[in-house]
């Protein structure tokens, strides 16, 4: 995106790519609902299109994230909430941090904290016991228990997303200006 003479100039190739990424993210998130639990792994992949869009530009990432969440809510509100609180926010935060944090092992930290914050918000605001009836009552206890497993998950997600993003840029010439 670029502003030229007060007019917002949008690269049409990027716009089409982001529409495709939005539909892909929503479709991957909806597959378990549409085709059965055997396709539950596809929902995990729904964050990769968000990462690709956010890696191009943070505004594209947010737009794709919100549009995919909306499309997912049309199919199933539960899947949309899962997307918003987990894989979608992981893809968005990792994609945004791609241009800001260069160390691969530091980049998952904001994503982990975002997911823990989202899960805690769902737990306290909506009364949905994500953590069950365990002794994880305080936010500090939740962070301490969940940080390492989520960090490993986000690191693996990041490594796979970097690989997929490199393939995308190798086969599609994208002028992001």
pLDDT at residue 134, as a whole number: 58
159-170, pLDDT tens digit by residue? 998 898 888 777
96-114, pLDDT tens digit by residue? 998 888 888 999 999 999 9
Rounded-to-integer distance, Cα 172 and Cα 8, Å? 23
pLDDT at residue 159, as a whole number: 93
Rounded-to-integer distance, Cα 163 and Cα 165, Å? 5
pLDDT tier at 176, thresholds 50, 70, 90:
low
Rounded-to-integer distance, Cα 65 and Cα 87, Å? 10
Tokens of 111: 């994503």
38-91, pLDDT tens digit by residue? 788 888 888 999 999 998 889 999 999 999 999 999 988 888 888 888 889 999
For the chain, state the CA radius of gyration: 17
Output the average pLDDT for the chain.
Answer: 82
Q: What are the two backbone dihedrals, phi and then psi, of residue 46, each rounded to the nearest 5 degrees?
A: -65, -20
């Amino acid at each position: 995106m670029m502003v030229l003479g007060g007019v917002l100039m949008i690269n049409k190739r990027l716009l089409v790519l982001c529409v495709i990424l939005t539909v892909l993210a929503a479709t991957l998130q909806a597959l378990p609902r549409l085709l059965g639990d055997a396709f539950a792994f596809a929902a995990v992949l729904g964050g990769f299109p968000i990462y690709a869009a956010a890696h191009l530009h943070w505004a594209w990432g947010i737009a794709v994230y919100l549009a995919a969440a909306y499309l997912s809510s049309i199919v199933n509100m539960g899947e949309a909430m899962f997307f918003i609180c987990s894989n979608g926010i992981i893809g968005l935060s990792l994609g945004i941090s791609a241009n800001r944090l260069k160390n691969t092992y530091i980049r998952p930290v904001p994503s982990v904290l975002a997911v823990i914050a989202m899960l805690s918000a769902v737990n306290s605001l909506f009364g949905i016991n994500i953590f069950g009836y365990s002794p994880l009552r305080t936010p500090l206890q939740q962070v301490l228990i969940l940080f390492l497993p989520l960090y490993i998950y986000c690191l693996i997600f990041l490594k796979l997303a970097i690989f997929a993003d490199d393939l995308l840029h190798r086969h599609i010439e994208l002028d992001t200006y």
